[in-house]
Structure 1
Amino acid sequence: MPKRQLKLTAFCHPPGHWRMPGAKPTDMDFEECVYLAQVAERGKFDMLFFQDSAAVAPAFYLSGGNAETLAEAARCVRLEPLTLLAALAAVTKHLGLVATATTTYNDPFNIARKFATIDHISKGRAGWNLVTSQNVDEAQNFSQDKHMDHALRYERAQEFYDVVTGLWDSWEDDAIIRDHKTGRYIEASKLHVLNHKGKHFSVRGPLNVARPPQGYPIVAQAGSSDPGRELAARTADVVFTAQVSLDEAQAFYADVKGRMARYGRSTDDIVIMPGIRYVLGATESEAQERYEMMLSEASDDGALASVQRLCGNLDIRDFPLDGPLPDLPPSNAAKARQKMMIDLARRENLSIRELARRFTFSLGHLVYVGTAMRLADMMEEWLTQDAADGFTMLSPYFPQPLELFVETVIPELRRRGIFRTEYEGTTLRENLGLRFRTNRYVGIKQAVGA
């Protein structure tokens, strides 16, 4: 029986450790983004994933608007990712191209139109990372006084997804006929008007883009709270998650896949890909040296900024840096990520200073420091023990870590027979082993025998 095949995502974001030797910018440099995409495609990665935020790093607000607090924050500027995906589609051939677009501060029609367009440009390689914004600072950039409540954000996200996918079904796959003899450009019976009227949105449709090549572009979801897991079970093709131990990952994997049946979905309809923040070296000591160098880079103010957003309305600077993390009020940003941070501090008895530096580096994900062989061991164990279908690889800077992964880890995964040597298909769905999304109206016609 063939072995299960690992899926891989390269996570691309403005690098926090931009001072490392050989580090190059990816925040505003398109040529560097092209290079990373080509490295990932050479390694036969499934996807290149761009995280996004519609606000400057919250470090700026920790000092009442003192921009000096922001001075070392490398993630304060970035290219708008949907525009970037369209450009990268022209210089890649197989690599999936995925970007975050929030349901909290966007409109369904525009999101449906943009991702459908990118799917056409890339010939079926687009993906939408559906998120409810974590960054409370985004609200004031969209005419809101405060960030929307967590529960309401997920309620809105459910309806947002329904509208977007309904718009993607506006046209059946063969509705655009362009018949020169009859002069008929479309087959009118294969055009469908959505006429959605809900609590959050009223959208008539139809979409003015033909149906995407994948049926639906890949939908990814990154929430790990209970509402996030429910949204993933109902909507997601891919789940990006942060699990820091095998036991936790197995429990998350079983929980999300166990929710899918009530939505008429198979467990094979979703790919779960925990994140790994990795530091590779030819030896354990070389990897550890690189890791320690990166931990020492951040100032206390810069490190504190990364955890402050998860502290509710409590100002972490009011407590001794070398003392324990105090009890935190509930966060309206990322509830699961806040719990993960608290658990880490309690489990390892970390001071606020130690926690801030560790969390700044990890971004809340599992941290691996060591050799390629040992990383492949861990990845194989998680795959075979139903803790993951693949992984999201988070490079601490670019391009060297990703180059090292492709040069050292990929060959080891192939040697074990758990990673591809060539792409299986032409679309991202095909390469992920996910089914084509049939148009809902075709399904209804088939059901009634029309």
Structure 2
Amino acid sequence: MSATRPLHLAAEIGGPPRYDAAWYVELAQLAERGALDFVTLQDSFARPGLDALAVLSRVAPATERVGLVPTVTTTHTEPFHVSAAVATLDWVSRGRAGWLVDVSATPAEARLFGRRPAASAAALWQEAREVAEVSARLWDSWEDDAEIREVATGRFVDRDKLHHVDFEGATFTVRGPSIVPRPPQGHPVTVVAATDGHSRETAARHADVVLVRAGRAEEAGALREKLRSRAAEHGRDPDTLRVLAALTVDLGDGERPLEPGLDSAPRTTAGAGGAHYRGGPVDLAELIAGWHGAGAVDGFHLTPAEPWRDLERLVNGTVALLQHRSRFRTFHPGGTLREHLGLGRPANRYAPAAGTS
């Protein structure tokens, strides 16, 4: 990968649970001022707090460019509703939505719903792959011009341009079509944190963006190549896959002497929870530029240790320095998240190909 390939940056805006929408709006607006590709908002059934997808639907009208990617748990949820909710976020954000696919693995979370016991990781991620597949089909179940809105005849939709998906998975079936018209992006961006073999398989099959945990640039580069190779085996163009290194950043101490860790300067440390950087904005910019320039990753997904403090220092320090060095853009290149990521709008699988009747 050439160092001239665009660098992609994203940030998490979660943290301890907050019940004030203005908090998330301000963080997303800060990320937008830095021209970040997207923000994520973590969520799970194991922690208290507001629903991430609903929160980012509130953030959408208060922002204009930054992508919005909530965690969406595919376990214990209805795939039809998941698809409709993500499509709705894409509509209210005018094409800036994604979803970070996750699963729910614990017996305690299963008891919250009372439908079925906890399943194995293999079964959960198989179900997640099926949810991703049926969601894409549901997004395609309306052709782009299915809405006709004929006032004279009272016809809202051309029924010939609605399609049943008729999907049968291991744990659910969906007929369709969706109740939501095809999203502005065609398919909202699918993000997967590839932390083990099961999630990596889901990422290779369905993700547009993959988050990987790596302690060194060489390790990240090896994971990237494996994901690209696996995607190609599934008939995908590996150049449509964006691989971002997931890194927790603590910018509270400023620049500091190097610590034993991952790479030559600047350094980070790695543990069971993933890779962590502790230091100043300048050294972080060096790390980002070094890994990206070496072709190890397409960018970084950064989780601030202290949401406001570290995101502010990230945007006004690290990102500003990368922009000054012409390593990162100073404005969003388009209006949709797919355009930020350099990804095309998928063709509708059910619509006739151009030039055919």
2 CA distance for matches of 1:2 and 1:14? Answer: 32
Structure 1 residues 287 and 377, CA gap change in structure 2 (3 angstroms): closer
Aligned to 2:162: 191
**CA deviation map 1:67-107 (0-9, x unaligned):** xxxxxxxxxx3211111011001111111111111122211
**Secondary structure of the structure 1 residue equivalent to 2:205:** helix
User: What is the DSSP-based 3-state SS (H/G/I as helix, E as strand, rest coil) of the residue aligned with 2:350?
Assistant: helix
Query: CA separation in 2, counterparts of 1:448 and 1:232?
Result: 33
How many Å separate the matches in 2 of 1:447 and 1:30?
44
Are the equivalent residues in 2 in contact too, given 1:287–1:371 (CA < 8 A)?
no
Give yes or no for the alignment of 1:29 onto 2:30.
no
The answer on 1:373 being equivalent to 2:287 is: no
Give the root-mean-square deviation of aligned CA atoms: 2.4
Q: Contact between 1:14 and 1:78, CA under 8 Å: does it hold in 2?
A: no
Residue correspondence of structure 1 range 376-395 to structure 2 within 5 A: 376-395=285-304
Distance 2:59 2:347 in 1: 27
- Give the stretch that moved more between structures: 405-414 or 276-285: 276-285
1:44 deviates by: 0.9
Contact 2:255–2:281 at 8 Å: present in 1 too? no
Task: Call closer, same or farther: CA 1:265–1:180 in 2, change over 3 Å.
Answer: same
Matched, 1:449 2:356: yes
Aligned match of 1:129: 100
Shift in Å, 1:29: 2.2
Q: Is the 8 A contact 1:49 1:99 kept in 2?
A: yes
TM-score norm. by structure 2 comes to 0.91
Cα distance, 1:177–1:408 mapped onto 2, change above 3 Å? same
Residue pair 2:256, 2:280 contacting (<8 A) in 1 also: no
> In the alignment, residue 126 of structure 1 is paired with which amino acid?
A
Find the structure with the greater CA-based Rg: 1
Which stretches in structure 2 are left out of the alignment for 5+ residues? 263-268
How much has 1:173 moved relative to structure 2?
A: 0.7
Q: Which structure dedicates a bigger proportion of its chain to helix? A: 1
Q: TM-score normalised to the size of structure 1?
A: 0.73
- Residues 1:280 and 1:198: Cα distance change in structure 2 (over 3 Å): closer
Structure 1 residues 363 and 101, CA, compared in 2 at 3 Å: closer, same or farther? farther
The 8 Å contact of residues 4 and 418 in structure 1, kept in 2 or not, is answered as no
State the alpha-carbon separation in 2 of the partners of residues 91 and 387 from structure 1: 34
Give the equivalent residue in structure 2 for 1:427. 336
User: Secondary structure of 1:440's partner?
Assistant: coil
Q: CA deviation at 1:227?
A: 2.1
Which of the residues 22, 35, 41 maps onto 1:50? 41
**1:104 and 1:153 in contact (8 A); partners too:** yes
Partner letter of residue 273 of structure 1? Answer: L
Q: CA deviation at 1:164?
A: 1.3
- 1:266 counterpart = 2:266: no
Report what 2:201 is aligned to: 230
8 Å Cα contact 1:178-1:185 kept in structure 2: yes
In structure 2, C-alpha distance between the alignment counterparts of 1:141 and 1:151, rounded to whole Å: 21
Q: Partner of 1:10: helix, strand, or coil?
A: strand
Shift of 1:145: 6.6
How far apart, CA to CA, are the structure 2 residues paired with 1:2 and 1:386?
Answer: 7
Deviation at 1:147, TM superposition (A): 1.9
Q: Of residues 347, 352, 355 in structure 2, which corresponds to 1:438?
A: 347
Segments of 5+ residues of structure 1 without an aligned counterpart are 16-25, 57-76, 289-343, 348-357
Partner of 1:4: 5
Structure-to-structure mapping, 1:5-404, within 5 angstroms: 5-15=6-16, 27-56=18-47, 77-143=48-114, 146-280=117-251, 283-285=254-256, 364-404=273-313
Contact persistence 2:110–2:117 (CA under 8 A): yes
Percent identity for Structure 1 against Structure 2: 38
| Cα distance, 1:447 vs structure 2 | 8.0
